[in-house]
Homo-oligomer: A and B are copies of this chain.
């Protein structure tokens, strides 16, 4: 789809490209994305049952607290799927609540397959009218970046986006992502995302997941995030060990592309909406300074 063109929206109207909508939300609220991670331990801390009803209450509380205050929320699909179809129904209502509140939603599903099966995942997460439609979805490229084509096309068609796993900070990731040295797997994924985004400014609709604590690996592998023109989802802020200052140090040159994500470090302040909002506001303040 040509830059600036619009895709049909839920309402039969049109929707700007995801990258444009994300940039606008970040300009308004700052770059923070808040994870919606209804882990069993957090459910207990919030005095909620470890079932689909508890997960839904948890998720809707976060949506209510964050609507109009942060750029995007990121429900962690595994924690809904853990409760089977009832958990997935809770996720549907969570995504609908986001849309209703004009809060961007990123379904953290890490899906990936080939051909018509990949097209089915695209139908699930990126098609108008799907009960699981989100503004964007995370994808896993073990089957090759090109295998994700049906999702890239669906996203472009409907004004939605994707975030493809690129370089993550978990130690086991190196055994796949760093392989190849100067022509590493991670670098090839970043470059392929760049080819999708062209020279979109500040970024296009094909995002990347790059761990907040990848440290010197970006430099060692010769990865040029600026050239990717990708929004960069950086999980790991807070509970997972990265501070806002760490992010500035690691990602300063691509700060305008960065979508720092925090989950537990904000969610542990629940269950009241006010304390969740205050926690998010503190993180947003750290990211500004």
Residues of A within 8 A of B (CB): 37, 39, 76, 78-79, 81-82, 84-86, 88-89, 91-92, 110-118, 120-121, 123-124, 130-132, 140-147, 165, 168, 170-177, 179-180, 183-185, 188-189, 192
Contacts and interface: CB of A to CB of B under 8 A. Distances in A.
Contacts of A116: 39
Contact of A81 (B121, B141, B147, B174): B121
Contacts of A170: 114-115, 143-144, 147
18 contacts: A39-B116, A78-B118, A81-B88, A84-B124, A85-B92, A110-B111, A110-B112, A112-B142, A114-B168, A140-B143, A142-B176, A144-B170, A176-B188, A176-B189, A179-B179, A179-B183, A179-B184, A179-B188
A76 B117 CA distance: 8
A86 to B, nearest CB: 7
Nearest to A179: B180
B147 A173 contact: yes
B144 A172 contact: yes
**A79, A113, A114, A142: which has the most chain B beta carbons within 10 Å?**
A142
A131 to B, nearest CB: 3
Contacts of A189: 176
Contact of A142 (B76, B88, B142): B142
A141 B144 contact: no
A174 B132 contact: no
A147 B174 CA distance: 11
B124 A78 contact: yes
A180 to B, nearest CB: 4
Contact of A84 (B117, B132, B141, B188): B132
Contacts of A84: 88-89, 92, 124, 130-132
A186 B19 CA distance: 33
A176 B120 contact: no
A134 B189 CA distance: 32
B78 A117 contact: yes
What 4 A-B pairs come out closest when comparing CB atoms? Answer: A144-B172, A146-B172, A84-B131, A85-B89
Nearest to A37: B117
Given A116-B39, A176-B141, A176-B144, A131 B85 contact: yes
B82 A124 contact: yes
Task: Determine which residue in A115, A121, A176 has the highest number of CB atoms from chain B within 10 A of its CB, and name it.
Answer: A176
